[in-house]
Structure 1
Amino acid sequence: MRIRTILYLFLSLLFIFISITPVFAQEDEQALDLASDAKSALLMERDTGTIIFEKNANEPLPPASMVKIMTLLIVMEELAKGNLKKNEMVRVSENASSMGGSQVFLETGEEISVDDLIKSVAIASGNDASVALAERISGSEQSFVKRMNEKVAELQLKNTRFKNVTGLPAKDQYSTAYDMAVIAKALLQYEDITTYTSIYEDYLRKGQKNEFWLVNTNKLVRFYPGVDGLKTGYTSEAKYCLTATAEKNDMRMITVVMGADSVKKRNHATSEMLDYAFNHYETEQLFAKGDVIKTVPLLKAEQRDIQIVTGDSVRTIYKKEKPYENIKTHVKIEDDFSLPIKKGEQVGVLTVKDNNHVLSETPLIVDSDIKEASFLTLFKRTLENLSKAR
């Protein structure tokens, strides 16, 4: 492998790590008296990854059903790739229907749509639905769990290990408030996930004799304005957990609470973190996800000009009383491209600075597959260039 290719791969991995590594708030924020009833907690702004508050955020703890955030992340990836369709019918195995804990009472041999299975996981935390999706995607729950842990490694998370797709008690299954926030951040890149997690109530098999009432386990969806996800969790070991997200004034926050003694205390800790964020912070969007940053001519590509776009929304976050005064952006694009390039592949980075202080670094990607030009295409271009030179 050429040295340049090795260097490119190294830089790509580095940029991916940067893009998912949140910036911690200043020390004075860490003295905030928030989430006092939680064993561990964290408050993060979604787009910038800025952590506004954390409490024991890197302490490994049992995550209970918050495991399903990773389950849903892989499901959404499969939908985006076209490997899974929402209207596809999935046959429920005996293994899936036998899951204990929270369930939607799927029956062995029953056929149910992927869309309804996602609803069952996102709203009612159905363990049986989670396993049914895992088996459809990977063939077995354990194969799916292997993929979950591969995703953990891809996200550069050091304190998470999954043993199942449900969050049911399992030896050596653990995560942290920080890790759960990063997984939630990745899931929220799929914007339609909140169309599921924001539903307070719905029905499975509506109108049939065996219809089942789905009620959201996250009551803040109904009682805290702006909350539209994500996932609760409870076991006797983990106690009451919640990874939540809320959006107000075009600013989205992620909160994680682990180890609260009651639903009331869990919801209170979440609410006070959200209150603090929305009362004291604002964001400003510089670029939307998918905005064209630069068009680059590429002689050797089938498509002569390639568009380089933002891989995510680019924002700044600041305290309301302390806005930034000298925001500048810097675009770095790779000097040379190895063809072919797949849609979504990173080819550069957009850096946002306030004076010399780096506020964020966002991956720049190509917005379509870029194929190597055929001999005929290159020949035609050569003729065109010769004609223009005359």
Structure 2
Amino acid sequence: MKKIVAMLMVFTLTVTLVMQPNKADAALDLAAESAILVDAESGKILYQKNIDAVLPIASMTKMMSEYLILEAIDEGRITWDQSVPISDHIRQLSLYTALSNVPLRQDYTYTVKDLYESVAIYSANASTIALAELIYGSETAFVEQMNEKGTELGIDREDFEFVNTTGLNNRDLLGNHPDGTGEEAENMMSARATAQLAYALLRDYPEVLDTASIPTKVFEAGPDPDTERIMMTNWNWMLPTIETQHDYEGVDGLKTGFTSAAGNAFTGTALRDDMRIISVVMRTETRYDRFNETAKLLDYGFNNFKKIELFSEGHSLEGEEFIPVASGKEREVGISSNQALSTIVRNGQEDQYEATLVLDQDKLNGDGELVAPFEAGERVGSLTLTSDTNEEEYLFSNQKDEVDVVTDAGVEKAGWFSMMMRGIGGFFSGIWTSAVDMVTGWFS
């Protein structure tokens, strides 16, 4: 009986330990239908809740519009000081005061920079469409590019659908919604896809934060300084420079959103101690909730994870410090990592990681040798982190923590005489080996 009781106690304890959620995760009770927290450098997912539910995203849509605007700037297709035409539809929409807008005139000059700032700071809807028409000729064409760019960035096509450039419901576009989209259609994305978009935007165009972090700015809507100077206050109330109860240390972006279907949503990002994280909350009840729940997410990230260096620059794995060289003056060459290998680690789990050398087989010949000549710093593979728990999950399936492994020295191609002598040496070595094997066979 004592043995049975003891076994039951062990079983109960084991089940309890296995089934009990991580204390930090259990304490994070978010009042949001969907949420995700991600390391902005590696793409590692730190927290997730219902992240594959496809929901309306409202003005978080403008992150994709900003991506395409910054891409057009980067490629030289438009310039910051270029003037932007204002069509009749855009003029009319800009006066729709129930929406987030700055009033736009057709007899006044606005630059790309003027309108872009109104988009990134004040979520101005008519300004967004004006830039879309400038870059691709129509909002319809711009929306086509939005969907194509999403796929190009590696976002699963089933996880998003763009029907306009702003995030409004199409019915708010005064009958001028993009061709091929429904009158009641609205942009849709999952929290995972939204985080993927934010990740790509910060990776490819980090300058987006230069504008997204501006707390207030005056928009010159027309020539009258008394009546046409619009004070734009950033909708991101978590910016430390905005005096609200929501300001949060390190927050410098990224995009809020609201429609009746989407509820209140927010994609945020914050940087502390060389660690930047991205958060997304979707379908919270109020404007205050989207910031309160984001603060919980960011607290969770900064309190429970840290970025640490696991392997220093110049690290070589024991027993794999060299690779053989073919046709070179040297028979082998040292290899090591060309930078430190760091990652975001949950507190107390620093010892669960090890490094694995993955050689690039395209750089080696059929015998696994690096063919000379080559210079120092030649990439030959990567040093990749692996986890004992195998619980690591990333935004994109091809992501992992790794750094390049390179040659420590260059090796010149051996001359013909050296290669001939090696061949002769190999020939006689082969004869000697065969003779030894034969004699050994006689006495075995």
The TM-score normalised by the length of structure 1 is: 0.71
Match of 1:18 in 2: none
2:355 maps to a residue whose letter is: K
Match of 2:298 in 1: 274
Q: Is the CA contact (8 Å cut-off) linking 2:358 and 2:384 kept in structure 1?
A: no
Q: Is the CA contact (8 Å cut-off) linking 1:45 and 1:51 kept in structure 2?
A: yes
Alignment CA distance shift 1:363-1:280 (3 Å): closer
Match of 2:138 in 1: 140
RMSD: 3.3
Match of 1:156 in 2: 155
In the TM superposition, 1:7-156 aligns within 5 A as 28=22, 31-34=25-28, 36-99=30-93, 100=96, 101-154=99-152, 155-156=154-155
User: How many pairs are equivalent?
Assistant: 310
2:297 maps to a residue whose letter is: M
Q: 1:196 aligns with which of 200, 211, 217?
A: 211
1:183 maps to a residue whose letter is: L
Alignment CA distance shift 1:118-1:285 (3 Å): farther
Q: Percent identity?
A: 32
Cα deviation, residue 78, structure 1: 1.7
Cα deviation, residue 362, structure 1: 7.0
1:52 maps to a residue whose letter is: L
1:65 maps to a residue whose letter is: S
Cα deviation, residue 79, structure 1: 1.9
Match of 2:400 in 1: 361
Unaligned residue ranges in structure 2 (runs of 5+): 1-20, 171-184, 241-246, 312-337, 364-378, 393-398, 405-414, 417-444
Q: Is the CA contact (8 Å cut-off) linking 2:341 and 2:402 kept in structure 1?
A: no
Cα deviation, residue 333, structure 1: 5.0
Match of 1:185 in 2: 199
Match of 1:211 in 2: 229
Q: Is the CA contact (8 Å cut-off) linking 1:240 and 1:259 kept in structure 2?
A: yes
1:352 aligns with 2:384: yes
SS of aligned partner of 1:43: strand
CA distance in 1, matches of 2:402, 2:107: 44
Q: 1:322 aligns with which of 337, 349, 364?
A: 349
Cα deviation, residue 286, structure 1: 8.4
2:138 maps to a residue whose letter is: S
SS of aligned partner of 1:76: helix
Q: 1:264 aligns with which of 288, 291, 295?
A: 288
Cα deviation, residue 110, structure 1: 3.2
Unaligned residue ranges in structure 1 (runs of 5+): 1-26, 288-309, 337-346, 366-384
Q: Is the CA contact (8 Å cut-off) linking 1:29 and 1:53 kept in structure 2?
A: no
Cα deviation, residue 156, structure 1: 2.8
Q: Is the CA contact (8 Å cut-off) linking 1:92 and 1:108 kept in structure 2?
A: yes
1:188 maps to a residue whose letter is: L
Q: Is the CA contact (8 Å cut-off) linking 2:353 and 2:388 kept in structure 1?
A: no
Query: Radius of gyration: which is bigger?
Result: 2
Cα deviation, residue 98, structure 1: 2.6
CA distance in 1, matches of 2:388, 2:131: 47
Q: 1:247 aligns with which of 266, 271, 294?
A: 271
Q: Is the CA contact (8 Å cut-off) linking 2:383 and 2:403 kept in structure 1?
A: no
CA distance in 1, matches of 2:146, 2:233: 27
Alignment CA distance shift 1:117-1:282 (3 Å): same
Cα deviation, residue 113, structure 1: 1.6
The TM-score normalised by the length of structure 2 is: 0.63
CA distance in 2, matches of 1:314, 1:182: 23
Alignment CA distance shift 1:264-1:314 (3 Å): farther
SS of aligned partner of 2:302: helix
Cα deviation, residue 187, structure 1: 0.5
Alignment CA distance shift 1:216-1:44 (3 Å): same
Alignment CA distance shift 1:86-1:240 (3 Å): same
